[in-house]
């Protein structure tokens, strides 16, 4: 049951990442998958960590049609950083965690851009870093939601 709830939350994050949005709002889409992976990595680092991030990133590469392995690499590295420091991050206030989420989302965006630039010659736009800020803002809503879900189903 525990793995099912975690898997369904990750699946919901992937669906939210794929959901069509109006063109004016799409640049502000939070990185849902990163947020959910960060929560589960901080809450249960023995169950969700780098391997889960790599697998989810590979699925996102397939769903988004991007170069295979770019999101897998970026998510794995960011979740590795979070897993190294999960005990510290857990003890921070929600505001401090949100700032860390913004930094980690920024690192992921830079890694994805760097890899896409090397492979496909992609150029960066001014709108590229908005998900970093919206992901940090959504942390205030998503963290209590996932914590309540974890406690309700007694996931350990």
- What pLDDT does 1 receive? 84
Q: For residue 144, what pLDDT is reported? A: 98
Decide: helix, strand or coil at residue 135.
helix
Residue 105 near residue 34, CB atoms below 8 Å: yes
CA dihedral 142, 148, 154, 156 (to 10 degrees): 40
The pLDDT tens digits for 56-96 are 999 999 999 999 999 999 999 999 999 999 999 999 999 99
Q: Which pTM was predicted?
A: 0.97
Q: Where are the domains of the chain?
A: 2-17+29-152
In DSSP notation, 91-108 reads: HS-HHHHHHHHHHHHHHH
Burial label, 110 (beta-carbon count in 10 A; 0-12, 13-18, 19+): middle
Residues of the chain with pLDDT under 50: none
């Amino acid at each position: 049951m525990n793995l099912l709830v975690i898997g369904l939350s990750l699946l919901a994050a992937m669906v939210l990442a794929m959901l069509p949005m109006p063109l004016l709002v799409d640049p502000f889409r939070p990185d849902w998958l990163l947020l959910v992976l960060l929560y589960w990595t901080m809450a249960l680092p023995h169950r969700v960590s780098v391997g889960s991030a790599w697998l989810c990133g590979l699925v996102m590469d397939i769903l988004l049609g991007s170069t295979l392995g770019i999101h897998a690499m970026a998510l794995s590295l960011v979740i590795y950083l979070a897993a190294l420091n999960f005990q510290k991050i857990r003890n921070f206030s929600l505001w401090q965690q949100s700032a860390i989420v913004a930094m980690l989302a920024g690192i992921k965006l830079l890694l994805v851009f760097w890899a896409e630039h090397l492979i496909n010659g992609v150029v960066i736009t001014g709108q590229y870093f908005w998900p970093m800020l919206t992901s940090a803002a959504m942390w205030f809503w998503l963290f209590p939601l996932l914590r309540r879900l974890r406690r309700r189903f007694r996931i350990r």
